[in-house]
Chains A and B, each alone.
Chain A
């Protein structure tokens, strides 16, 4: 597994390549869940026909910014349980921010029909209590 690491807004961000299924973010504690708290930035790449990572873990109350890239199609990134969605635009970086205000395991998916294995483009947002 190849992991590229870089610092972004105080958060350690791992951009996974080649079959990574999860990443964990270790950021200093901030005043989470408030509108002006700095968001935890999480990179997600959508591509035919997968997400990297496929699993995103955050803590309940955190303000989260998904930094979305989508090199080969206008894939969707949708987390219906949080009413969050964005279109990934090839060549651009798209950001969408939300507060993970409930704990649980929530599906995210590509909601733009992108080809033969479109249905496989799903992942999980795991929001833990602590």
Chain B
């Protein structure tokens, strides 16, 4: 795949989505003074579910991740970083197996030739409040970092059994945002949708609206998330929310069936519905684009 050319038309053609609400979405960094400037891209890989084992849905679990990692490594324009947006592993009730899966996934991900950031999904962190995840990755469950003028905020809506951010984290977010200028471009990275996408399938963050309300005064806010295992785009006011395809298995599109369903493997179209995303941000404040990549 030609990764040089992230045009809006390309993306529209690939995604098959008209009337894009996000074409001007990812904030540029022209207005920010601090930090390095310049065009850059990053890659979102999500829902790896290492340890997943239903061959009717994906008979090539190891190969699928390997293919995705190789495709990222082969990008002509190297991304500045890759971020894994949660559900690195398939959940297990066995704490030992959980750690083993996290370590195996971590080893696999080390084949990437660019810097990597991680955070947890509910499969990794809900059953032990992130204990195993923190042990293996040694990082925080929620954190911020700045890259070329964009403030990235990682929100944790997975380390409580309930799909919540929690009062403590919301206070942390509020405190952090009060230090930011109103024109600070912000990218939020999180696992579950912050908005109430479809609580019938547990696709929501119960107190996510509080985070959205705190982010609302900022002009340039884009949220990238996973969890729903298919591409989805939604706006809450001017804030854009973009779900990426999963690496390991696809789920039925929102509300398309009575029950949330893992879509069966199609031998004629292996890896159908699986993918990852690259995002390009430009310092000119002009075009910023997402591109959805298939696996296979």
Question: Which residues of A line the B interface, CB within 8 A?
Answer: 73-74, 76, 78, 80-81, 87, 105, 107, 109, 111-116, 118-119, 122
The 10 A-B residue pairs whose C-beta atoms are closest, nearest first, are A113-B126, A80-B199, A112-B161, A113-B122, A107-B200, A80-B200, A113-B161, A115-B93, A112-B162, A116-B93
User: Which residues of the partner chain B approach A115 to less than 8 Å between Cβ atoms?
Assistant: 91, 93, 127
Query: Which secondary structure dominates chain A's binding surface?
Result: mixed
Which B residues, 107 to 130, have Cβ-Cβ distances below 8 Å to chain A? 122, 126-127
Q: A78-B199, A80-B199, A81-B200 are in contact. Are A114 and B161 (CB under 8 A)?
A: yes
Q: Contact at B127–A113, with CB atoms within 8 Å? A: yes
Chain B 78-119 interface mask (CB, 8 Å, partner A; 1/0) = 000000000000011100000000000000000000000000
**Chain B residues within 8 Å of A105, by CB:** 258
Contact across chains for B258 and A111 when beta carbons are under 8 A apart: no
A119 CA to B92 CA, complexed, in Å: 13
Expressed in whole angstroms, the Cα–Cα distance for A122 and B199 within the complex equals 12
Q: Which among B91, B158, B258 is the interface contact of A107 at CB below 8 angstroms?
A: B258
Give residues of chain B (253-293) contacting chain A, Cβ–Cβ below 8 Å.
Answer: 258-260
C-alpha spacing A89/B251, complex, angstroms: 31
A105 to chain B, nearest CB (A): 8
Number of B residues near A (Cβ < 8 Å) is 17
If A115-B91, A115-B93, A119-B260 touch, whether A109 touches B161 (CB-CB below 8 Å) is: no
A80 to B158, CA, bound (A): 20
Contact in complex: A116, B122 (CB < 8 Å) = no
Q: Is B202 an interface residue (CB 8 A)?
A: yes
Task: Give complex CA distance A80, B202 in Å.
Answer: 9
Q: Chain B residues with Cβ under 8 A from A119's Cβ?
A: 202, 260
CA distance A80 to B258 in the complex (A): 14
Q: Which of B199-240 contact A (CB under 8 A)?
A: 199-202
User: How far, in angstroms, from A73 to B260 measured CA to CA in the complex?
Assistant: 23
Chain A hits for B202, CB < 8 A: 109, 111, 119
A74 touches B161 (CB 8 A): yes
Q: How far is the CA of A100 from the CA of B161 in the complex (A)?
A: 28
B47 to chain A, nearest CB (A): 13
Give Cα A111 to B91, complex, Å.
16
Q: Which of A73, A81, A122 has the most CB of B within 10 A?
A: A122
Say yes or no for B193: interface residue by CB 8 A criterion. no
Bound state CA distance, A61 and B138, in angstroms?
A: 53
Minimum distance in angstroms from A89 CB to a CB of chain B: 13
The verdict on A111 contacting B163 (CB below 8 Å), with A80-B199, A81-B200 known, is yes
Residues in chain A near residue B201, CB distance under 8 A: 107, 109
Q: Could you tell me the distance between the alpha carbons of A98 and B260 in the complex, rounded to whole angstroms?
A: 25
Known A76-B162, A105-B258; further 18 A-B contacts with Cβ < 8 A: A74-B161, A78-B199, A80-B200, A81-B200, A107-B200, A107-B258, A109-B201, A111-B163, A111-B202, A112-B161, A112-B162, A113-B126, A113-B163, A115-B127, A116-B91, A116-B92, A116-B93, A119-B260
- The interface residues of chain A lying within 8 Å CB-to-CB of B122 are 113
Residues of B with C-beta under 8 A to A114: 161
Contact A122 B127 (CB under 8 A): no
Q: How far is the CA of A116 from the CA of B122 in the complex (A)?
A: 11
> Which residues of chain B from 143 to 181 have a CB within 8 Å of any chain A CB?
158, 161-163
Can you give 10 contacting A-B residue pairs, CB < 8 Å? A80-B199, A81-B200, A87-B162, A107-B258, A111-B199, A112-B162, A113-B91, A113-B126, A113-B163, A122-B259
Chain B residues with CB under 8 A of A113: 91, 122, 126-127, 158, 161-163
Q: Which residues of A contact B127 (CB under 8 A)?
A: 113, 115
Chain B, residues 37-77, CB within 8 Å of chain A (1/0): the string is 00000000000000000000000000000000000000000
Say whether B161 contacts A107, CB under 8 Å: no
Q: Determine the residue in chain A with the shortest Cβ distance to B198.
A: A80
